[in-house]
Structure 1
Amino acid sequence: MTTPTILPSFAAGELSPALHGRVDLAKYQVGLATCLNWFVHPFGGVSTRAGTAFVGEVYRHTGRSRLVPFAFNTTQTYVLEFADQKMRVIKDGGYVLESALTITGITQANPGVVSASGAHGFSNGDMVWLQDISGMPELNRRRYTINGVTGSTFELGVSTVGLGPWTSGGTAARIYTLGTPYLTADLARLKYVQSADTMTLTHPSYAPRTLTRTGHTSWTLTTTTFAPTQQPPTSVASDSPGASYSYVVTAVSEETGEESVASSVVTSADQTSTVSWTDATDAGSYNVYKARNGVYGFIGRAPDGSPGFTDTSIEPDTSDGPPQAKNPFDAADKYPGCSTYHEGRQWYARTNTKPQTLYSSASAAFNNMNTSTPSKDSDAITRTIASREVNEIRHLLSLNVLLVWTSGAVWKAWAGAQADVMTPANCAVKPQSYEGIADIPPIATESSAVYVTASGKKVRDVAYEFASDSFQGRNVSILAGHLFEGRTIEEWAYAKDPDGIIWCVRSDGVLLGFTYLKEHDVYAWHRHVTDGLVESVACITEGSETILYLAVKRTVNGQTVRYVERMASRYFPDVHSSWCVDSGTGYNGWNTDATRTLTLSGAAWNAGDTVTVTADGHTPFTAASLGTQYILRSGQNQVTVTVTAYTDSSHVSATLDMAPDVSMQATAIPDWALASITLDGLWHLEGRALAILADGSVQPTATVSRGRITLTRAAGRIVAGLPYVCDLETLNIEAGPPTLQGRLKVINEVTLRVKDTRGLSVGPTSSRLVDIKERLGENYGYPTMLVTGDEKVLIDPSWNTQGRVFVRQSNPLPATVVAIIPRLEAGA
């Protein structure tokens, strides 16, 4: 007798084989044996991952690049590609280009020579992007490293012999590139922290630098100057010259309240003199200090614009002295290794000479490391961790306290129990855990933080616990320990919306996903592979989602290449919009303007008959339109027409591929597309066999030749790229007591509860899969719709002791499984 059993959640992700006997664990009941190219939603369901779109080639294929997010706010976001002594900028899925120049000619030569209108300003070695060229379409949407530069021409570095002659048009734009000092070998240890349009970059081998953005193609990288921005007054003088009394004057910024360093010393014959000065720019007031026994103390303040300050034998307050210039990072081996912002200060840590020392700026003055004698609450702070071992500080994270991660422990730096904010007098450092961190930044989530331990093989979370008044954590990778055997995590990035997934680069190039939602005790690991190796990741907000960018190393045409790719949004409103290929390129010829319509008219409406196509609201036709195809659609009814004769820009004659529904005859239709039988722009996948989804239908694979593939049927929307397979396998089924473990069992039928799904195969193992038949009432020529609901399939049964269900998606289509319901028969 068969018994249905439901697996209602997969919220534990892929579990280690070492746990496959732990049927007593609650996580076992919601775990998986295999979760490959599927990701776990916080609610417990699983979806096939989205594919990636080709963004561009990295700066140099011979070296690994590092991706870094840069976010001014939720709408102004970038990904920065750091390569060997270069930085480039990516925005909205493409490299940022400088102003485009109009091409006026291209030779048929080796190498091809491009002429541009006016002086282009390019230099040998620059990388330029060409597009919209007529006559030489093979050159379009490609990057070239140019040479042989003259005032108005440049060589492409490739042969144009054999191409058709250039006829007209085209633009050339230089890819925006900024020089940096960072070598490829040092990029892994480069750390960053951002405030508005300014990013601080730190590395133990380089002086700290400030990266500032003022526009898409306007970035500056400068060595950080550690000094007050407010300058002191100049030309300080006394109306009673002499050597009996000494004075200095500081300027206080009107806008920020920052105090400058002291002016040059001025001396006076008596202490009833007037000290004057030349006002400093942006100062709102001036502080005057007088020396007593060699120590300067405050005696008064003068507003900006005053003629000076008169000392009336005022006794100096030596508990309030002028700031003293200080730069703790002024030489090699004194450069900090990490930085963050906390309590209105910028904090630095870890120099080669002092690996356990923390340094903060003055309050509200991020580049001001000055101190006073005696110290003031607003002065810069220096603290060294006192510990049994000298473990370098690797990362800082601002929560309600400053968490300080070293290679051997986690510490908190805070004001102590008797104070509210940290000052030079109130700055305590206390250990929280003796599990150190790898050289990978921790990630702050909604209510906690997660970090990779020093070994690179474990991930822990940490959060404040009121009961112990300390930060406590747990190992959140323990259930998936097999993913880290012999391998380590090298990079990661947090995609907060919509699913809260941390994407991790493993040392072997596999991309790991980690779905983490602490408040619901969700921590689930999943694996993701592509035809290549992932080397770097970064996440930024684009629209309402957090988008993942990847640097991927691939082999194409026998050559090692490195690309930046953008993972597509996983929201697919219909099958036509699905993007389930890697390193893909797409074409969308569907009309989006309801005022632009096409109308078919004619005397006969059978396949092969000739009709007139009339365009209203636009003029799309030219003499070159002969042979082009248009698809017209009304609901699920559609027809393709092929242009056979040109009348004018609004009228052509065309033949029908099939008899159109009566609703499409002599009716203005806004739902139409300019169809294409080819897809260009695929030079980055030359010679590779690609998966194709065209107007929601899976077409046979096609091999790229000269940057192009040819489809078996023209389509209005095409996505093509490298295929990948998504495998999902349940654990050994357990429905006891009494236990089913060790008993023979068979599953004859499986019901999958799915959402927006198509194209799955199911079976007891990967070698005995049965395709789910999904096409129902769709009209002829219209793609099978995505299914939401229950899909029942009779599988190829197999008596075994496991009782597993294996689900595979091998098509470039989406799938989401929210429950698996097998019908089980158990033997003795």
Structure 2
Amino acid sequence: MAKTTIVQTSFAAGELDPSLAMRHDVQQYQAGARRMTNCRLLVGGGARRREGTRWLAELVADGRAIPWAVDEATKYVIVLSTGRMDAFREDGTPAGTLTGCPWSVAQARAATWFQSANTLFLAHPDFPVQRIARTGPSSWAREAIAFAMPAGVGGRLHQPYFKVAPDSITLQPSARAGGITLTASGGWWQSGHVGSRVRYAGREIVINSISSSAVANATVVDELPPSQDVTVDDAAGWRVGQVVEGDETGARGEVVAMPSGTVLRIVVEERVSGFKVGEYVTGPESRAKVAAVATVDPAPSRNWDEQLYGPVHGYPAAVALHRGRLILAGGRAVPNIVCASRTDALYDFDIGDAVDTDAVIDLIGDAAAQRIVQVVSTEQLLVLTDRGAYYNAESPSRPFTPTNFGLLPFGSPWPASNARAETFDNGVILVTGSTIVKLSPTGDTTAQWTGAPTSLLASHTIKAPLDAAFTTGWYGGVETYGFFVNSDGTMTCMQLLESQQVRSFVPWTITGSVRSAAALGDELFLVTHRSVDGVDKHLLEKVDPSLSLDAATTYADLDDAAARYGTLPGAHVVAGRYALGGLPQTDPAADGPYDVGLDFPWVIETLPPVVQGRAGPVVHDTMRICRVWVELQDSFRLSVSGQTLTAYAVTDDLSEAPLQRNGPQEFRLLGRSRRPTITIQAPEPLPVTVLGLSMEVSV
């Protein structure tokens, strides 16, 4: 029988979807695997048994982890649980708590956030945008953001306003100043309006109480504009809803009614001294001379709006900081709105005269966009919606200003999920359902962004992620990774190096479930749910390269381990290069210190080899993998398809701990199969790194 050698020099393609079992024609088949559970892929193409995690703290409840970096020397992980926030230093030291917080854990998971220095903003449609401030090494403060009320503006509040009511509903004040009633032409008022603000023709009014769904009692903040009956000498061309202007006074207003053919009832919005007899009034379709002017009671007008965010209409769905502006976006009432504060005035949303530093309040000009989910600040502002991604075409020659603002769609209509989108590998990683998409700048002056799915060849590893985290390195190493917390409690590790044509995804599993992930630079933190000695616990854990067990603790004496782990099945003890087995250990075979924690499975299963025959690839013929050489680096024992490498070589000193293996290790196998594979596992919870392998295959 003919024999041939198949060499696999890399695992850089990661675990491939089972549906690709016959796609040996694609490049990724040669560098992929059928299974790669709990592997960490190296930049050179090797696969390492992932590092373990250190037990940092027991949490009071399930929560979402968020990284907080003040500077390189001062870093925290905060965990948001129902009604509270707990802060921890990098080593797990508790660093303060906030209670009485307005979120549930479900809301915390869905919230968007951004953090800079000593401040973090948190947004969710169900509660006001929260500003959390670090006030000391272990002290924190929390408050809802307060919109600006600059001096000299007469008590006006510079917050986003929008007419949420149907355009047909008019508003009529009973007077121009003081305590008044506000009558809506349709039922609109509800108890949540108490304390909120509305604007009539741009002038603010505070609602004090509600008499009925049509009538509210209120106080005028700045005097309301007058209403005038203006009699003109020519009735032709005038209509309700037109905006007209006096050519001498400059008075400007909307025609809200026409009591007769030549009488225009106008709510004066500019130059509130109003129109005068003898001047000409000009509209879109006509021009006539003013014959008479009479001031009347405030008229019902459709030109009114109300505060966009509050108890009635909810709060922003997304928050970001971009170009010195606070970005608030989305929400229940107007889900496709983007509000950007004045430049360097984060809480001032006055649109003013639309000069370059004024605020921006605008809708996505695309009927396809229904709901904003996230906003991301990159070289341009990205707005991610439930119907696709948009960007604002800004540049040094076209800065972010009211006149330059306009969102353009790009890519396919990928619906953004609540899993956090972040910059990574010169782009932005977006989670859409069970697909990972990379959004990338094109460098083009027209279509400036594009997007492409990256996880299609490993789609089975992505299961509706709830959270995402991205490292900037790996504990001093050169690798960078993205992590996705799946809805089934597993996690997926992504390695993405587009410049090297590397896209890989491998599943990480634990005993229990992963609930959240946060990356602080090159370090990864997890919130987990585990059963420890029969008790359910939520833990804060940190990946630690010195550990090969999960939820591990280091002890000088194993007697202390019983208090935490009891006789938990699956708990293991490792002392340096010795794997000592489970608990209890009455007479440990090695001296401490001892790492006690939970083992986790590590598996590499290759794809079936493809042998090139004279007539083409030999795929479904029976074949035998006779021998395997596995190239190891700094590794302990491993097994290949049931054949276990001995802990000691013939020349080793048995009184010393087993040495790490390097170089090729040979295994001889039996049995024939139509689709044979090799399964590599670690019989002990110790480090193993496989750089590649070769197979001698008999057909």
Query: Which deviates more from structure 2 when the two are superposed, residues 775-784 or residues 801-810?
Result: 775-784
Query: What's the counterpart of residue 556 of structure 1?
Result: 532
Deviation at 1:292, TM superposition (A): 8.9
- Check whether the contact 2:110–2:124 (CA below 8 A) recurs between aligned residues: yes
Tell which deviates more after alignment, 178-187 or 497-506: 178-187
2:665 pairs with 1:791: yes
In 2: Cα distance, 1:54 partner to 1:2 partner: 50
State how far apart, in whole Å, the 2-side matches of 1:781 and 1:481 are: 48
Which of these residues, 686, 693, 698, is aligned with residue 579 of structure 2? 698
Asked if structure 2 preserves the Cα contact closer than 8 Å seen for 1:42 and 1:516, the reply is no
The SS at the match of 2:147 is: coil
Alignment match, 2:344: 364
Letter in structure 2 aligned against 1:460: V
How far is 1:526 from its partner? 0.7
Distance 1:825 1:553, change over 3 A: same
Please give the alpha-carbon distance, in whole angstroms, between the structure 1 residues aligned to 2:350 and 2:587. Answer: 68
- Which residue, out of 128, 132, 141, partners 1:220? 141
Paired with 2:4 and 2:622, the residues of 1 have a C-alpha distance of: 14
User: In the alignment, is residue 421 of structure 1 matched against residue 294 of structure 2?
Assistant: no
Q: CA deviation at 1:711?
A: 4.5
Match of 2:612 among 708, 714, 736: 736
Of 718, 727, 731, 2:603 maps to: 727
1:348 alignment partner AA: L
- Distance change (3 Å), C-alpha of 1:735 and 1:443: farther
1:586 maps to what in 2? 554
**In structure 2, what residue type is equivalent to 1:65?**
G
Question: Residue 760 of structure 1 corresponds to which residue in structure 2?
Answer: 638
Give aligned pairs, total. 551
Tell me, in whole angstroms, the C-alpha distance in 2 between the residues paired with 1:40 and 1:222: 43
SS in 2 for 1:702: coil
Contact 1:585 1:682 in 2 (8 A): no
Q: Deviations over 1:501-554 (max 9, x none)?
A: 11111111111111112221211111111111111111113xxxx221111112
Query: Structure 1 CA distance, aligned partners of 2:222 and 2:609?
Result: 84
**Residue 540 (1) aligns with residue 540 (2):** no
Asked if the contact 2:11/2:41 (under 8 Å) is kept, the reply is yes
Show the counterpart of 2:443: 466
CA contact (8 A) 2:112 2:317 kept: yes
Identify if the C-alpha distance between structure 1 residues 265 and 695 changes in structure 2 by more than 3 Å, giving closer, same or farther: closer
Aligned position for 2:196:
none
Aligned residue in 1 for 2:234: none
Q: Deviations over 1:322-342 (max 9, x none)?
A: xxx996434442411111122
Alignment of 1:642-653 (within 5 A): none
| 1:698 partner amino acid | A
Offset from partner CA, 1:201-248 (integer Å, 9 cap, x none)? 1110111111111322111111111116x64599xxxxxxxxxxxxxx
Secondary structure of 2:107's partner? helix
Measured after TM superposition, the shift of residue 82 of structure 1 is 0.9
Task: Sort the Cα spacing of 1:33 and 1:75 in 2 relative to 1 into closer, same or farther, 3 A.
Answer: same
Deviation, structure 1 residue 790: 1.9
Please show how residues 667-706 of structure 1 align to structure 2 within 5 Å: 676=557, 678-689=558-569, 690-703=571-584
Superposed, which structure 2 residues align to 1:299-314 within 5 Å? Answer: none
Q: Aligned Cα RMSD in Å?
A: 2.8
SS of structure 2 residue aligned to 1:473? strand
1:815 corresponds to: 688
Q: What does 1:433-452 correspond to in 2, within 5 Å?
A: 433=411, 434-452=413-431
Whether contact under 8 Å (1:732, 1:804) holds in the other structure is yes
1:699–1:711 CA contact under 8 A, matched in 2: no
Amino acid aligned to 1:784 = P
Alignment partners' CA distance in 1, 2:99 and 2:452: 42
**Which amino acid in structure 2 is aligned with residue 345 of structure 1?**
R
Structure 1 position 189 matched with structure 2 position 110: yes
Change (3 A) 1:713 1:412: same
Alpha-carbon spacing, 1:503–1:474, altered in 2? closer, same or farther (3 Å):
same
Aligned twin of 1:378: 357
CA distance in 1, matches of 2:450, 2:135: 41
Q: Say whether 1:771 aligns with 2:648.
A: no
Unaligned stretches of 5+ residues in structure 2: 155-203, 205-220, 224-248, 252-268, 273-304
**Aligned position for 2:309:** 329
> How far is the alpha carbon of 1:200 from its aligned partner?
0.6
Q: 1:336 to 1:711 in 2, by over 3 A?
A: farther
Secondary structure in 1 aligned to 2:8?
coil
Structure 2 CA distance, aligned partners of 1:180 and 1:89?
A: 14
| Identical positions, percent | 22
Listed one character per residue, the Cα deviations across residues 317-363 of structure 1 (whole Å, up to 9, x for unaligned) are: xxxxxxxx996434442411111122221211002111000000101
TM-score under structure 2 length normalisation = 0.74
**Structure 1: gaps (5+ residues):** 98-174, 235-260, 267-290, 298-324, 570-577, 589-675, 704-708
In structure 2, relative to structure 1, the CA distance for the partners of 1:477 and 1:725 (3 Å cut) is same
Deviation per residue, 1:371-391 (Å, 9 max, x gap):
32x332111101101223352
Spell out the pairing of 1:47-446 with structure 2 (5 A cutoff).
47-60=48-61, 64-96=62-94, 176-227=97-148, 231-232=151-152, 328-372=308-352, 374-415=353-394, 420-433=398-411, 434-446=413-425
Q: Mark the CA change 1:361 to 1:679 in structure 2 (over 3 Å): closer, same or farther.
A: farther
Which of 518, 531, 544 is 1:568 aligned to?
544
- The CA distance in 2 between the partners of 1:746 and 1:774, in whole Å, is 29
Q: Give, in angstroms, the shift of residue 185 of structure 1.
A: 3.2
Q: Please say if residues 567 and 583 of structure 2, whose CA atoms lie closer than 8 Å, have aligned partners that are also in contact.
A: no
CA–CA separation in structure 1 for the residues paired with 2:555 and 2:599: 17
The CA deviation string for residues 662-706 of structure 1, in whole angstroms up to 9 with x for no partner, is: xxxxxxxxxxxxxx4x25145342330321111321113224xxx
Aligned-partner Cα distance in 1 for 2:675–2:648: 28
Report the AA paired with residue 800 of structure 1: S
Q: Matched residue of 1:18: which SS?
A: helix
Q: 2: CA distance between counterparts of 1:199 and 1:356?
A: 24
Q: Distance in 2 between matches of 1:568 and 1:220?
A: 31
CA 1:20–1:44 in 2, change beyond 3 Å: closer, same or farther?
A: same
CA contact (8 A) 1:206 1:332 kept: no
Pick aligned residue for 2:458 from 453, 457, 480: 480
Distance in 2 (CA, whole Å) between partners of 1:65 and 1:565 is 13
- How many Å separate the matches in 1 of 2:66 and 2:636? 36
1:359-417 deviation line (CA, Å, top 9, x unaligned): 00101121221232x3321111011012233520011112221111100111112348x
Structure 2 distance, partners of 1:35, 1:2, is 27
SS at match of 1:182: coil
Residue 748 (1) aligns with residue 626 (2) = yes
Alignment of 1:457 onto 2:434:
yes
Q: Residue type matched to 1:192 in 2?
A: W
Name the CA distance, whole Å, in 2 between partners of 1:412 and 1:519. Answer: 24
Q: TM-score, normalised by structure 1?
A: 0.63
Counterpart-to-counterpart distance in 2, 1:338 and 1:815: 43
**CA gap 1:483/1:55 in 2 versus in 1, 3 angstroms:** same
Partner Cα separation in structure 1 for residue 386 and residue 564 of structure 2: 41
Given candidates 713, 717, 723, the residue that maps to 2:589 is 713
- Superposed CA deviations along residues 106-140 of structure 1, whole A, max 9, x for unmatched, are xxxxxxxxxxxxxxxxxxxxxxxxxxxxxxxxxxx
Higher relative contact order (CA 8 A, sep 6+): 2
Shift of 1:481: 2.2
Report the AA paired with residue 548 of structure 2: C
Matches within 5 A, 1:595-610: none
**Is the contact between residue 759 and residue 811 of structure 1 (CA under 8 Å) also seen in structure 2?**
yes
In the aligned structure 2, how far is the partner of 1:679 from the partner of 1:502? 38
Equivalence for 1:113: none
